[in-house]
Chain A
Amino acid sequence: MKTTPGNLWGDQYPFERNVAQRTMTMLGLAGLFVVTTILLVRADPAHVLGVSLIGAGVLSGLAALSRHRYVQETRLGFVIVQSRGGGFVFGSALVFAVIGVLVALLLVFD
């Protein structure tokens, strides 16, 4: 079956599923990062609340960006898929490694 780029997307293409799963995974990583950092530095709860508010703002911005990308992907179809590389995969694995080291530090030294 031959198709034309930008003219093939129907509802069956699971961009939203991918965006949702990316967001869920990133939220898990962020949550673990926050908990580990709080435990490591023995943060004051009031300060944590303030930082959480800033973090919530940043997360909302990221969610909006993610939604924008999803809409773009749906509209542009093949063009945007061609730009999808392994950056997210390797970037998220790197973030995981950093958080994993933080957790190991927490277990060994705290």
Chain B
Amino acid sequence: MMDFDGDAQRGSRTPRSVYDVGREPDPLYSLANERTYLSWLRLAVTLLAGAVAIDRLFLDRPWWGSEALALGLVAVAFGTCGVGVRRWWVTERALRQRRPLPGFGAPLLGIVAVLLAGTGVLVIVLMPRG
């Protein structure tokens, strides 16, 4: 890990709960942490787009299953974005404090939710409707 001669001025960056602890990590790790957050955000955007697509797909013949799935996708998307923000926050703090990085519990739950939503899409698309 690379160390720096200087440290950022305390209180100059927000959120202070992240940047007022520990000392400056190697920027490579901070940048990688930001890219991981961006990946979570892109997954959330994709889920939202899926919700809009399902809504439009069943526009003429809406039924409870399609509406529940679309709203479920929106809920999972919000959860995904929340997981992304939280992991960025926890990881940045851990990097600054030279502590171990967080585990993968919450993201696993997110992945399970996405898999369930995907199964729901398959069921809805393949199920014959009268």
Contact = CB atoms under 8 A, between A and B. Distances in A.
A107 B13 contact: no
A90 B13 CA distance: 13
Q: On chain A, which size bracket covers the interface?
A: 35 or more
Contacts of A1: 2-3
A99 interface: yes
B48 A84 contact: no
A103 B123 CA distance: 22
Contacts of B49: 28, 32, 35
A14 B85 contact: no
A39 B51 CA distance: 13
Nearest to B81: A96
Nearest to A85: B13
Interface residues of B, number: 48
B52 A39 contact: yes
Interface of B: 2-6, 8-9, 12-15, 18-19, 24, 27-28, 30-32, 34-35, 37-39, 41-42, 44-46, 48-49, 51-52, 55-56, 67, 70-71, 74, 77-78, 81-82, 84-85, 88-89, 92
A4 to B, nearest CB: 6
Contact of A18 (B14, B24, B34, B92): B34
A87 interface: yes
Contact of B71 (A39, A97, A104): A104
Interface in A1-32: 1-5, 8, 13-15, 17-18, 21-22, 24-25, 28-29, 32
